[in-house]
A and B are shown apart, each in its own frame.
Chain A
């Protein structure tokens, strides 16, 4: 016979003013199973909890009902009180008589009291069916996987490795460094991007706890937090990294020229190449799509000139597996292709370039030796028009959101332009200047005052050609007039978008992503680096556009979260998960089909006791199950039940009203 204790809370006046608390206690006492009922001013306070603890021992209670605020508020508190008194904490039920009664029926005390009594009775009925549950502990593999080797991935990998946790860093391209390696200087301090990034890249390569796998991609991730298994494909580089010294003879002699991605296609690289001089690892790879030896079987020069014999045209992709405990996703961003801006003549006019192209031009190691030039005739431009919000904040042609960094990098570009071409003039068409950040507004002021960049408030409506100039037409809303700027060069601040394959990666990882393709954080405010899937974290622009300081901060936060998971040898997990009753299971595997986490597998069990004949039944993986109950509702034979929300508990609630 169940012995239930009921504890009704006044919550100061919050409940007591609108619900007749003594009446609720009285009603509770009339329930057969209730052996003890009491009210108190604040049940959650220490004296309140003490009453529960005392009553448990004194009345030999088998389950507890607390009628107070929402269980989302204090369920944990009261569970703690139960376990302090030596009782299984999952024998607690909370009747929510504050949010669901006293606060929402303030005009009708009688009805509110009646409802509170009903809620208590339901909780009592449910608690009778409660079972003792025990936290599940799951072993942890202490190795982290970082996907993406841009500044976010580099920072996360270094921070985790510094805590002496092994890290596997997988990078898609031949070198780590990411977008930051393409930048000339960084706002708002105008630090040289290479100067601050390269030391970190070298650290990654030499760190004893980091395994760097460049030119590779993640193929599969299975398992659950603490126990993932990742399949990684190492793309064939056709160069044996173990013997290659990175001397550079091969790429000097290679006859095939390909547009150089690192310089946004402004100049050419070879078919065997390192992306840029400071690349880490500084070993070349062969671009299989363009190498004539690999496409047509002709050439073979690099193999001839390589003294170490490191070139291997027969190399195949290799698939490796790593056991890991947590994942940091840092896949970065792409830039939006401005082709839909037909009114600007994008694609028709050579002298319209994107900001990253401009960045490469003004970069000291860039294709034009740090001087911006007009692609059409190679002349140095005088009047340069910068147009912001290309694709950003434009749901008609691009995306709805603000890309966050364009205001600042455009400001930086006006200053860099002024530095590189002293007699130039920058015109900036903007809609708003979003300069919220440390030193950002001062930086904008510097551009507007020191370099006298002309800021025009409005979106450009049309660009057309007159002679060899581009005429840029837009409204300056500040004077309410249409203005036309005669420009030599137009720079488009194109929007930040997630990498094209982000959704694929997200699906592979089992992480949700938004309509644009950014991966979704678990909570926009309180859990900004976690994903809804335990053990997978987000750093940098893979979650949303952000600048370098924010990216680095988020990467370090990810590292802290990873270290948190790895702080013990096992992890604790809520026991409210599904279990299978083998006796009833028919092995139809509907549950396997609907489980959103792949937490259900099958196993073979004997047909009957001692029987040799086997049959298939479902089996829940405790570590993976999140306790949604989807499987329970599709189980026709009612073989699966969800601890904490069993059919019996819910039916008890329904019939006891």
Chain B
């Protein structure tokens, strides 16, 4: 049995409750024991580092210090924003002991930071620590027939020198995961464009503009739905979709799934637990594609060649 430290993040108790739920379900079925950081606090998100350098480090650092009290080598974080803040803090603290000492002084009551816990996003944890094989082995109800656009957003793979995970421009980890579940990942060029992130509330216009482009490109790629690994992306793309449809005058109707929701689905768990009812955009239409396998356009079969790959023989 694997053990991992779990940092749910504020949205797990709010807008992304379904992410939190499905993560727990999926991890249980994958035989991973999750230990939640006791009495964790908010990572500070964009706001903290917009206004105060010290708080931007101090808030995540407290969580890192608390996490070290649990005896696990790795910490997995579902929320991309929390992941980014904790990882940036970890990297900067590890690089700069002087800074670490300074920031540590604000949370010294909780303990001293040692830097021994690896920080990973839930996606990274699933991809690297659990592995595609383990995921594939749990699939009971293949998602074959579904075409999915995998959307990573800004924070999971960028900046490369902080995250050290996958490509910052055209990542493929989530694509591999959904393909392990049986679905087909579409070629989607807007994988890592920004959805507008924290402007969700303060500047809706930006969010509508950016998210609409992402949705349109996903539509264009032929996807039935979008898969995400970030609560903020999910809420921007899902909750703002009616607004976007009104704004552009085009029907989009793309449900936005967390990748763990789809994993739970493919693992054959009850749809009720996945809280599809919380989605603003109804999911039924997209899920109806499961099992509907399009016949592959038949290729004209050429006579088998003697030497393949590099060279060929007439």
Q: Are A342 and B170 in contact (CB under 8 A)?
A: yes
**B189 an interface residue at 8 Å Cβ cutoff?**
yes
Complexed CA–CA distance, A10 and B190 (Å) = 76
- Interface readout for B183-202 with A: 1 if CB under 8 Å, 0 if not? 00001011000000000000
**Can you name the residue of chain A whose Cβ is closest to the Cβ of B312?**
A257
Complex contact B311–A290 (CB within 8 A): yes
Contact of A464 with B310 at beta-carbon distance under 8 Å, contacts A342-B167, A342-B170, A343-B169 already known: no
Interface size class of A (residues with CB under 8 A): 10 to 19
Q: How far is the CB of A357 from chain B (nearest CB, A)?
A: 19
B313 at the interface (CB under 8 A from A): yes
Q: Is the beta-carbon distance between A290 and B310 smaller than 8 angstroms?
A: yes
Chain B residues with Cβ below 8 Å from A257 are: 311-314
Given contacts A255-B314, A257-B311, A257-B313, A466 and B220 within 8 Å (CB-CB) = yes
Interface extent on B, as a size class? 10 to 19
Task: Mark contacts of A336-379 with chain B using CB atoms, 8 A cut-off: 1 yes-contact digit, 0 otherwise.
Answer: 00000011010010000000000000000000000000000000
Smallest CB–CB gap between A308 and chain B, Å?
24
User: Roughly how many angstroms separate A343 CA and B170 CA in the complex, as a whole number?
Assistant: 7
Taking CB atoms, residues of chain A closer than 8 Å to B187 are 348, 465
Contact of B170 among A258, A289, A348 (CB under 8 A): A348
Provide the residues of chain B in CB contact with A342, threshold 8 Å.
167-170
Q: Knowing A464-B189, A466-B220 touch, does A345 contact B311 (C-beta < 8 A)?
A: no
Q: Which residue of B lies closest to A347 (CB)?
A: B170
Contact residue among A258, A289, A465 (Cβ-Cβ distance under 8 Å from B189): A465
Chain A residues, Cβ within 8 Å of B217: 464
Q: Is A292 an interface residue (CB 8 A)?
A: yes
A-B contact count (CB 8 A): 37
B1 at the interface (CB under 8 A from A): no
Given the complex of chains A and B, what is the CA–CA distance between A294 and B176 in angstroms? 40
Complex Cα gap A256–B190 (Å): 42
A271 at interface (Cβ–Cβ under 8 A)?
yes
A271 touches B170 (CB 8 A): no
In the assembled complex, the CB of B156 is this many whole angstroms from the nearest CB of chain A, namely 15
Is residue B307 within 8 Å, beta carbon to beta carbon, of the partner chain?
yes
Q: Contacts A342-B167, A345-B189 given: A258-B313 contact, CB under 8 Å?
A: no
- Are A292 and B307 interface neighbours, CB within 8 A? yes
What distance in Å separates the Cβ of B157 from its nearest Cβ neighbour in chain A? 11
- Given known pairs A342-B167, A345-B170, A348-B170, the reply for A464 and B311 (CB within 8 Å) is no
A251-302, CB < 8 A from B: 255-259, 268, 271, 289-290, 292
Q: How far does the Cβ of A381 sit from chain B's closest Cβ, in whole Å?
A: 20
| Contact of A292 with B313 in the complex, beta carbons under 8 Å | yes
Interface residues of A in 222-263 (CB under 8 A from B): 255-259
Most buried by B among A256, A258, A259: A256
Given the interface pairs A292-B307, A342-B170, A345-B170, the reply to whether A256 lies near B189 with Cβ below 8 Å is no
Nearest chain B CB to A310 CB, angstrom units: 23
A462: nearest chain-B partner, CB-CB: B189
| Residues on A with beta carbons closer than 8 Å to the beta carbon of B167 | 342
Specify which chain A residues have a CB less than 8 angstroms from the CB of B220 in the assembled complex: 466
**CA–CA, A465 to B220, complex, Å?**
10
Chain B contact surface mostly: loop
Give the chain B neighbours of A259 by CB distance below 8 A.
310
| Cβ contacts under 8 Å, B168 to chain A | 342
Contacts of A292 in B (CB 8 A): 307, 313
Q: Roughly how many angstroms separate A151 CA and B313 CA in the complex, as a whole number? A: 35
User: CA–CA, A465 to B217, complex, Å?
Assistant: 9
* B310 neighbours in A (Cβ, 8 Å): 258-259, 289-290
The answer to whether A256 and B170 have CB atoms under 8 Å apart is no
Bound: A256/B168 CA distance, A? 41
With both beta carbons as reference points, the residue of chain A lying nearest to B221 in the complex is identified as A465
Residues of chain B within 8 A of A258, CB atoms compared: 310-311
State A343–B189 Cα separation when bound (angstroms): 9
Task: Find the B residue at minimum CB distance from A268.
Answer: B312
Residue interface mask B273-314, A partner, CB < 8 A = 1: 000000000000000000000000000000000010011111
Most A CB within 10 A of own CB, among B169, B310, B311, B314: B311
Distance in angstroms from A437 CB to nearest chain B CB is 36
In the complex, what's the smallest C-beta–C-beta distance from B191 to chain A, in angstroms? 10
- What is the CB-to-nearest-CB distance from A350 to chain B, in angstroms, rounded to a whole number? 12
Which of chain A's residues has its CB closest to B216's CB? A466
Cα–Cα distance between A342 and B168 once the two chains are bound (Å): 8
Chain A, range 156-176, C-beta contacts under 8 Å to B: none
Q: With both chains docked as a complex, state the minimum distance between the C-beta of A376 and any C-beta of chain B, in angstroms.
A: 13
Whole-angstrom distance between the alpha carbons of A462 and B313 in the complex?
A: 39
B307 pairs with A256, CB closer than 8 A: yes
Q: Kindly list chain B residues whose C-beta atoms are within 8 Å of the C-beta of A464.
A: 189-190, 217
Q: Which residues of A contact B314 (CB under 8 A)?
A: 255, 257
A residues 459-492 touching B (CB-CB < 8 Å) = 462, 464-466
Query: Measured between C-beta atoms, what is the minimum distance from A614 to chain B in Å?
Result: 58
Provided the pairs A345-B189, A464-B190 are in contact, do residues A256 and B169 lie with their beta carbons within 8 angstroms? no
Q: How far is the CA of A271 from the CA of B169 in the complex (A)?
A: 39
B193 to chain A, nearest CB (A): 9
Q: Which residues from A are CB-within-8-Å of B307?
A: 256, 292
User: CA–CA, A255 to B307, complex, Å?
Assistant: 10
In the complex, the chain B residue whose C-beta lies closest to that of A343 is: B169
Tell me the complex Cα distance, A290–B189, Å: 37
In the complex, residue of chain A having the shortest beta-carbon distance to the beta carbon of B168? A342
In angstroms, Cα B307 to Cα A290, docked, is 9
From A256, A289, A465, B313 is in contact (CB under 8 Å) with: A256
Q: Return chain B residues, CB-CB under 8 Å to A289.
A: 310
Contacts of A256 in B (CB 8 A): 307, 311-313
Chain B residue contacts of A466, Cβ below 8 A: 220
Residue of A nearest to B220 (CB): A466
A253 to chain B minimum Cβ distance, whole angstroms, is 10
Rounded to whole angstroms, the CA-CA distance of A382 and B311 in the bound complex is: 33
A259 to B307, CA, bound (A): 13
Q: List 20 A-B contacts (CB under 8 A).
A: A255-B313, A255-B314, A256-B307, A256-B311, A257-B311, A258-B310, A258-B311, A268-B312, A271-B311, A289-B310, A290-B311, A342-B167, A342-B169, A342-B170, A343-B169, A343-B170, A348-B187, A464-B189, A464-B217, A466-B220
Known A256-B307, A290-B311, A292-B307; further 6 A-B contacts with Cβ < 8 A: A255-B314, A257-B313, A342-B168, A343-B169, A343-B170, A348-B170
* Smallest CB-CB A-B distances: 5 pairs: A464-B189, A342-B169, A290-B311, A343-B169, A258-B311
A residues with a Cβ closer than 8 A to B are 255-259, 268, 271, 289-290, 292, 342-343, 345, 348, 462, 464-466
Report which B residues bind A (CB closer than 8 A): 167-170, 187, 189-190, 217, 220, 307, 310-314
